[in-house]
Amino acid sequence: MRTLPLLLVLSLTGCAAVEPDALRIEAGHQSTIGQHLTSKPTDYGMQTVALAAHWQRGRWTAEVSEGYAVSGIDACAHLCPTRDVFNATLGYTLWSRP
């Protein structure tokens, strides 16, 4: 949860360039699609709750989130040994409805 305090400090101190356009709380599920389509489903998924900051500049988007795994951490302990979950994405919109 180191990212969230940094974003809050930068936003509150007037650093408008890094102030997010949106802030949301989200619940998520991460797994592989294959585990849901087999005759013997596995339980490799992880459920998370996170706080996400979103930036939009024209067609470019960026998002960072810091969260907590509420269940499923035992199945993927080799990938995520703690319950803290950090995600960052960068995207470019190719097409959208007017």
Residue pLDDT, tens place only, 48-62: 899 999 999 999 999
Confidence of residue 85 (pLDDT cuts 50, 70, 90): confident
**Encoded amino acid at 21, one letter:** D
- Other beta carbons within 10 angstroms of residue 67's beta carbon come to 21
10 Å Cβ neighbour count for 53? 21
Instruction: Check residue 14 and give left, alpha or beta (phi > 0: left; psi -120 to 50: alpha).
Output: left
- Answer yes or no: pTM beyond 0.85: no
**Residue 7 reports pLDDT greater than 80:** no
